[in-house]
Structure 1
Amino acid sequence: MLKKLFPLFAYFKYWLKKEDSYSLQSPFVFNIYQGLKDYIKLTDSSFQEIEVYRRKLLDSDKEIEVLDLGAGSKKVNFKKRKVADITKFSTSSKKFGLLYQYFCQLTPARTVLELGTCMGITTRYLSQKTQGILFTFEGSLEIQNLAKVSSGYSNTQYVLGDISNTLPEILSKIETVDFALLDANHTYTGTIEYFELILEKVSEKSIIAIGDIHWSKEMEKAWHQIKNNLKVKLSMDFYECGIVFFDSTHQKSEYILDI
């Protein structure tokens, strides 16, 4: 019960501390934050193809067998799960799909990583802003089969298997990771492991997003360790996710923001 209630307590603390654009002293952060709000507002009616796909999944009666290699789901933690339930409880909303898009496009976006394909909704959002190749990692075969796009997303490469094994293999072939979304495993150990592996490939123009940073005590612990890493110069906490920057021209700072 306490584990299920933890996000509520975490949200209350977040709500008490969150800032708005009027309180931001840094021109850089103000511009980034205002740009994000404008981006979500101006593109809210766009990407209907992706949202039609989401609606199709939400209306599905199909059941699939899911292989969990991390913390699993708090809502539907069964081996056999309805596609509709997975989509409802385990995928990012349109707003956060656009948020990830926005931060992705602030980077060169030549190499983009998504850890946790899930149903492929955020994959589609990221693919549309990827200038080179998007590697999306998934541990469950049946989920990956559903998430795959038959056409129109030729810049996306689907990677199946335990991310602890597949991520080092892909990273060995990559010079720089421009943008990465860590939205898999949801344990302290897994999240830190993936972050530290990707950290070896970041540049000052890179941005990393970490999903569900207040999902559990473990994830909060991972988020605190990540934002305090010496290479991280700026962090933004949006409750559902955290964003970190590596540009050394900025002083170490952290912000708690709402969208």
Structure 2
Amino acid sequence: MLFQLTSYLKFLLKSQNQHGLHSPFVYDLVTKCFYDKSYHGGYELIKDYRNDLLRNKNLIEVTDFGAGSRVFKSNRRPVFSIAKNAGITLHRAKLIHRLTKYLNINKALELGTSLGIASSAIAANKKTSLITIEGCPETSKVVRKQIKKYDLNNIQLMNTRFETAISQLSPYLKNKQETTDNGQPPNSQPRTDQKFDLIYFDGNHQKQATLNYFKKLLPTAHNDSVFIFDDIHWSPEMEEAWEEIKANPKVQVTIDTYQWGLVFFRKEQQKQDFTIRV
């Protein structure tokens, strides 16, 4: 708790709003997307999807492959409590929806579906095709019902370990014979042409895992892609991971919003790091 308080105070001291931003790209992103107060049609779907989960009192057995939970002491958890305590906030869900629209995202990947609140926010932009990966079988069952209920046909849910899914999506990895959610080994070779406009990393808040996923998925980025890392100030180790990501030579622009770290690869941009309140 003390670490979170200290890191947030440091963030506030360094952070800025739109004033004094000398990058036209970042200035437009902040003023036209981050601080956009206008109504977006996708907001209703996001709110309905999230409220539906907040009313769900069913207990499920959660399989956690990441850093674990600071809130829950047991893996047997009510759905509404997961949505309230572990799911993305409505504020952040609206923001990722605006980002998806503003950046004209066509193909997106999400590592860590949880109950699919962020997934619904991305897919509420019907132009966007989303692949979302969740390791927990029980959580995935809830999400599949939600996807069907809200007609989110542009979401492909993969219930498998991140490593298995990435081996099929990233172009320079061998296709290991691991089972997918249907119990069958993947029969396709890795996609050498697979590129994503957006990748949302929200499933394993550990330094080495975060860096591994970043490096393995780096070949799937193009000049206008954005990578979003959740909980970059979760721990000292996650802050170290964020610093390593920022220093990667392929990374041109980064934005630290405290909860999220956004990474852009725009070769035409001067290499810059921003700390911005949202």
Query: Is the structural similarity TM-score above 0.5?
Result: yes
The corresponding residue for 1:134 is 130
Which stretches of structure 1, 4 residues or longer, exceed 4 Å deviation after superposition? Answer: none
List alignment gaps of at least 5 residues for structure 2: 171-189
Among 123, 148, 151, the alignment partner of 1:150 is: 148
- Farther-moved stretch of structure 1 (59-68 vs 181-190): 59-68
Output the CA distance in 2 between the equivalents of 1:109 and 1:44: 16
Asked if residue 78 in structure 1 is aligned to residue 74 in structure 2, the reply is yes
Pair 1:16-2:13 in alignment: yes
* 1:76 partner amino acid: F
Specify the alignment match of 1:168 in structure 2: 167
2:232 is the alignment partner of 1:213 = yes
Local SS of the residue matching 1:186? coil
1:247 aligns with 2:266: yes
The residue that corresponds to 1:105 in the other structure is: 101
Whole-angstrom distance in 2 between the partners of 1:117 and 1:185? 11
Question: 1:31-77: per-residue Cα shift (whole Å, max 9, x none)?
Answer: 111012343x1137852232123223223322110001110111114
Instruction: Verify the 8 A CA contact 1:50 1:124 in the aligned structure 2.
Output: yes
- Does residue 29 of structure 1 match 2:26? yes
Paired with 1:212 and 1:185, the residues of 2 have a C-alpha distance of 10
Identity among equivalent pairs (%): 30
CA contact (8 A) 1:138 1:163 kept: yes
Partner residue of 1:196?
215
Q: Could you tell me how far apart the structure 1 residues matched to 2:163 and 2:142 are? A: 22
Deviations 1:202-256 (A, max 9, x none): 1101111001111111211111111111111000011110101001100110100
Q: Is the 8 A contact 2:197 2:226 kept in 1?
A: yes
The verdict on how the C-alpha distance between 1:197 and 1:191 changes in structure 2, with shifts beyond 3 A counting, is same
1:52 matched to which residue of 2? 48
Per-residue deviation, residues 183-202 of structure 1 (Å, max 9, x unmatched)? 01111111111111110111
Measured in 1, the distance between the counterparts of 2:224 and 2:122 equals: 17
Q: 1:104–1:130: 8 Å Cα contact kept in structure 2?
A: no
Amino acid at match of 1:198: L
Alignment of 1:159 with 2:158, yes or no, is yes
Q: Cα distance 1:138–1:210, how it changes in 2: closer, same or farther (>3 A)? A: same
Q: Which amino acid aligns with 2:98?
A: Y
> Alpha carbons of 1:226 and 1:77: their partners in 2 closer, same or farther (altered >3 Å)?
farther
Q: Is the Cα–Cα contact under 8 Å of residues 122 and 128 in structure 2 kept in the other structure? A: no
**Alpha carbons of structure 1 residues 130 and 48: separation in structure 2 relative to 1, 3 Å:** closer
2: distance between equivalents of 1:109 and 1:100? 11
Secondary structure in structure 1 of the residue aligned to 2:131: strand
Please give the alpha-carbon distance, in whole angstroms, between the structure 1 residues aligned to 2:256 and 2:13.
13
Alignment partner, residue 200 of structure 2 = 181
Q: d(CA) in 1 for partners of 2:10 and 2:271?
A: 22
Whole-Å separation in 2 of the counterparts to 1:130 and 1:242: 25
Q: May I ask how many residue pairs the two structures share in their alignment?
A: 255
Could you tell me which amino acid in structure 1 is paired with residue 10 of structure 2? Answer: K
How far residue 95 of structure 1 moved from its aligned partner, in angstroms, is 1.8
State the shift of 1:82 in Å.
Answer: 1.6
Between 1:182-191 and 1:92-101, the stretch displaced more is 92-101
- Letter in structure 1 aligned against 2:7: A
Q: Which residue of structure 2 aligns with residue 123 of structure 1?
A: 119
CA contact (8 A) 2:61 2:77 kept: yes
Instruction: Work out whether residues 112 and 130 of structure 1, in 8 Å CA contact, stay in contact via their aligned partners in 2.
Output: no
| TM-score, length of structure 1 as denominator length | 0.92
